[in-house]
Chains A and B, each alone.
Chain A
Amino acid sequence: MSNNVERHLLAESGLDLDSLNKALGQIHHHDNDYADLYFQSSQHESWVLEDGIIKEGSYNIERGVGVRAISGEKTGFAYSDDISEESLIKACHAARSIAPDGGKVQISGFQAQPYQSRYDNDNPLLGMADAEKIALLKSADAYIRQQEPGISQVVVSLSGVYEQILVAATDGTLATDIRPLVRLNCSVLLEQGDRRERGSAGAGGRHTYSFFSSDDDGRPYYEKLADEALHMARVNMQAVASPAGTMPVVLGNGWPGVLLHEAVGHGLEGDFNRKGASTFSGRIGERVAAKGVTVVDDGTLSGRRGSLSVDDEGTPSQHNVLIEDGILKGYMQDKMNARLMGVAPTGNGRRESFAHLPMPRMTNTYMLAGKYDPSEIIATIDKGIYAPNFAGGQVDITSGKFVFSSAEAYLIENGKITAPVKGATLIGNGPEVMQKISMIGNDLALDKGVGVCGKDGQSVPVGVGQPTLKIDELTVGGTA
């Protein structure tokens, strides 16, 4: 595999490992501690069905190289969308200027370390004929219209990415990876009288498109997504105003794990903690969550959206325990922040593309299962909210304040789930809310593969997951 990626990213542009050595050598004319070259090419396509017809198709190609030089806490960075010896050397000259002339570090030879691949290498764009991709969208549309003949709007979209990367660094790192990523989305709009409500559902991962058509207990996966989107729209059609105030909240399993992503995930990224900017800074070994709460970030899960065989600095991805039984165990690190904090990199060095600098980022972040049956958890609540589905969230890592917005929610009254309520934003403080988790379900699930995480203007695919959880007190931003 690595030979193919090397051929594609280097040989086709007249480069080889010697040219990379030469380029890194240019950087070491200056007094830098570390430098890396990141070659990337990606193909992206998307197909959109709307109003029963294939309305849009698009195809995008990107290719380039990013050059980074690090000196202490300083970073110089330049990139080019032209992969050639000339542009590479030019980028190296720009990046190295972060440190003064007069280098001392010698580069040893490259050593490609073996690592385990976490997904197949097949190109999803080529793995299915275009006519079949269209047939898949049409089948999903036909299925939805059969379930709900009077439906107002149906939008189904399919997208796929095929990406190849190569990292070479002055510490001898040489790594390549091939990363497929696919996604299917269904969005529906129902109308009843004056009222209109939307429902949507999506799924994906590092697979080929056959993932969506393959039988999963006897039914194509797209039918399940379609059912989910219709369910959300039907539920919201009946929804009444959500209550406002502080109350017990039960979060469903799977995608509501966006709670962890916002409430603790970002705050445990190494850069914020090195700088002392996070509410979790300097708290390793302290209790930051209730007993029983164990949170991990795991890039090694097979075929998951947030998974990586190696990160964008060539570090193999890992299963990292962030919080164990409520005690803070460690942060997520890239190479630079790991070095400055005196710990090992954790395989969390990620970047949106060659034109962006790597940072510590999450992969798949989830909480391990507890012992309670979800119905037992609901039964303990007299008046509260049950929220099984969410839209996005946001966090201020310094104050710890986070929000996330429900897309489907219900009242809990006298131990039972009753009326659906409108979407509402939930707000809390990460470390406080994590201490208020009083019951953990036995039903751990990961999300279906739709997460996009934004940080400093860079987007990367991520996964989240959790079992059903009870939070004793959370502020619910309703209108009632």
Chain B
Amino acid sequence: MQIEQQIAEIQNIVDDVLKMALSKGATQAEASMSKVQGIAVSSRMREVENVEFTNDGGLGISVYVGKHKGSASTADLSPQALALTVEKAVDIARYTSEDPCTGLADKELIATEFPDLDLYHPESLDTEKAIQIAIEAESAALEFDPRIVNTDGASYNANLGMRVYGNTHGINAGYPSSRYSLSCMVIGAEGEDMQRDYAYTVSRRANELRPAHEIGQEAARETVSRLGARKLKTANIPVLLHKDIASGLFGHYVGAISGGSLYRRSSFLLDKLGQQIFPEWLTIEERPHLKQGLASSNFDHEGVATHDRTIVENGLLATYLYTTYSARKLNTKSTGHAGGIHNWLVGDTGDSDQAMLNKLGTGLLVTELMGQGVNGVTGDYSRGAAGFWVENGVIQYPVHEVTIAGNLLDMFANIQAVGANRDTRGSIQTGSVLLDNMRIAGS
């Protein structure tokens, strides 16, 4: 069956479910439904390890009975299960309290245009070919260096799916998408020391994944480079966050400017709209309609249209991120961020990788962060780290078992430079980030 036909069928189900909700006493309702089919194949020691056929789907519905809300969801899409799910949602709305802010998104914000974002590039889900690709990556890693003694394997994933959203304001829209990824993790040893690292590639198009042998070689190179890691003495030093892990820093910013944290007064960026948070040269743009973007979408999880938006302008906190509910709690309008952000592009200072190391001078290049030691209420930050000691812009030796600590407000303000070479594999695209003066705890 053609994907357009499948989407039309799901739109019919969503339509039925919404009608059913109204007939059961809801005054408003919204439903979303997704279906994803795929394969997940892994190899270990150049042999097939797992072949998984994935097939996930579900329907979620929220109903509003006046200003009372009820939600229910099901992974079972049989007609009986769908009916039960609607009934349950209506039933729950009898018990939730009246809440003046609850309800569907404002009608005038709902998406009406649905340009093709080029997110769907189907390939036949061929497990034999997937196995070959995984084994090729793993072989390249195992052959890279004699110190690569073991492997955690390589895996290839392909997913084809669709998402449909509808509500009783009249929107009922769906789109298909595809996602392919290849990753490889290997283990290196030298004496008593054993280390692992990984590499991966992800794309909407299977033929735009990086070549398998490159992924394997990168995993091996990074693993070997970690052997012989040392601790550092406790000190205050500059830190360069490698581009592969730097997006996490802006991830904390997402949490802190989200409406939910604001109306709960649980953010260190409360009451800071329009204020200087980052250095003046730093700008963050949101581009929801990037062709083939990994976080592209015409509408958010409430059907609200997404728009290009400047998130940080000349270092100023240009906008908070609202869902319909958090916007109403704070007397404003949704910004289309129900379900998260859409392709952030972090502005850079034009520095190459080597220029970033030169700007770091002497300090710690961080390539791995561990743990959840970030307090979104206070901005206090303390995480485990591993990476490389750098002197005069030259990598000296690997480092592990240290922590880096500070406060996010200070860290944001003290960003010295952002590299031009971006990691494009996530919803936040940024280069490496140079931070002045972090507290390192070690021996």
Contact = CB atoms under 8 A, between A and B. Distances in A.
B84 interface: yes
A56 B96 contact: yes
Contacts of A424: 373, 382, 403, 405
A58 B73 contact: yes
A13 to B, nearest CB: 10
A479 B76 contact: no
B65 to A, nearest CB: 12
Contacts of A428: 401
A392 interface: yes
A196 B370 CA distance: 26
Contacts of A94: 53
Interface stretch (A69-77, A219-227, A370-378): A69-77
B428 to A, nearest CB: 20
A276 interface: yes
A210 interface: no
A203 to B, nearest CB: 20
Contact of A61 (B56, B81, B195): B81
A57 B77 contact: no
Contact of B73 (A50, A60, A191, A357): A60
Interface in A88-122: 91, 94-95, 97-98
A46 to B, nearest CB: 9
A58 B75 CA distance: 14
B70 A246 contact: no
A399 B195 contact: yes
A429 interface: yes
A391 B234 contact: no
A55 B81 contact: no
Nearest to B443: A246
Contacts of A398: 152, 187, 194-196
Interface in A443-478: 475-478
Interface stretch (A31-39, A78-86, A163-171, A302-310): A78-86
A197 interface: yes
Given A60-B72, A78-B52, A475 B441 contact: yes
B163 interface: no
B267 to A, nearest CB: 9
A133 B48 CA distance: 49
Contacts of A394: 370-372, 384
B152 A153 contact: no
B56 A405 contact: no
B255 to A, nearest CB: 13
Contacts of B95: 47, 54, 57, 130-131, 134
Contact of A55 (B48, B50, B78, B96): B96
B47 interface: yes
Interface extent on A, as a size class?
A: 35 or more
Given A59-B88, A153-B265, A398-B187, A244 B81 contact: no
B76 A189 contact: no
Contact of B74 (A62, A423, A478): A62
B52 A198 contact: no
Given A153-B265, A425-B403, A75 B49 contact: yes
B51 A401 contact: no
Nearest to B89: A59
A425 B382 contact: yes
B69 A477 contact: no
A392 B405 CA distance: 17
A114 B99 CA distance: 51
A214 interface: no
A73 B44 contact: yes
B272 to A, nearest CB: 12
Contacts of B150: 275-277
B50 A75 contact: yes
A405 B373 CA distance: 5
Nearest to B195: A399
A396 B380 contact: no
Contacts of A97: 51, 127
B76 A63 contact: yes
B264 interface: yes
Interface in A170-226: 189, 191, 195-198
A196 to B, nearest CB: 5
Contacts of B378: 195-197, 422
A288 B423 CA distance: 40
A478 B49 contact: no
A81 B55 contact: yes
Q: Which of A74, A197, A242 has the most CB of B within 10 A?
A: A74
A186 to B, nearest CB: 14
A330 interface: no
B239 interface: no
A55 B97 contact: yes
A235 B401 CA distance: 28
A189 B442 CA distance: 33
Q: Which of A79, A396, A479 has the most CB of B within 10 A?
A: A479
A244 B152 contact: no
A244 B441 contact: yes
A277 B49 CA distance: 15
B415 interface: no
Contacts of B127: 97
Nearest to B194: A398
A77 B84 contact: no
B328 interface: no
B406 interface: yes
Contacts of B420: none
Contacts of B56: 81, 355
A103 to B, nearest CB: 17
Interface in B360-393: 370-373, 375, 377-378, 380, 382-384, 386
B84 to A, nearest CB: 7
Q: Which of A59, A82, A393 has the most CB of B within 10 A?
A: A59
B239 to A, nearest CB: 13
Contacts of B371: 392-394, 403-405, 425, 427
A64 B265 contact: no
A54 B97 contact: yes
Contacts of B74: 60-62
Interface in A267-282: 275-277, 279
A479 B406 contact: yes
B222 to A, nearest CB: 13
Nearest to B440: A244
Nearest to A53: B97
B71 interface: yes
A475 B401 contact: yes
B181 to A, nearest CB: 13
A245 interface: yes
A279 B194 contact: yes
A189 B72 contact: no
A58 B382 contact: no
A198 B261 CA distance: 12
Contact of A74 (B47, B98, B226): B47
B76 A57 contact: no
A418 interface: no
Q: Which of A47, A57, A277 has the most CB of B within 10 A?
A: A57
A155 B97 CA distance: 14
21 contacts: A53-B99, A58-B73, A76-B51, A77-B53, A82-B76, A153-B264, A198-B375, A276-B150, A277-B152, A277-B196, A398-B195, A401-B386, A403-B371, A403-B383, A425-B405, A427-B384, A427-B441, A476-B441, A477-B403, A477-B405, A479-B439
Instruction: Report the 8 A-B pairs with minimum CB-CB distance, sorted nearest first.
Output: A477-B403, A53-B97, A403-B384, A403-B371, A425-B373, A57-B92, A244-B441, A405-B373
Interface of B: 44, 47-57, 69-78, 81, 84-85, 88-89, 92-93, 95-99, 102, 127, 150, 152, 187, 193-196, 226, 229, 231, 234, 264-266, 270, 370-373, 375, 377-378, 380, 382-384, 386, 400-407, 439-443
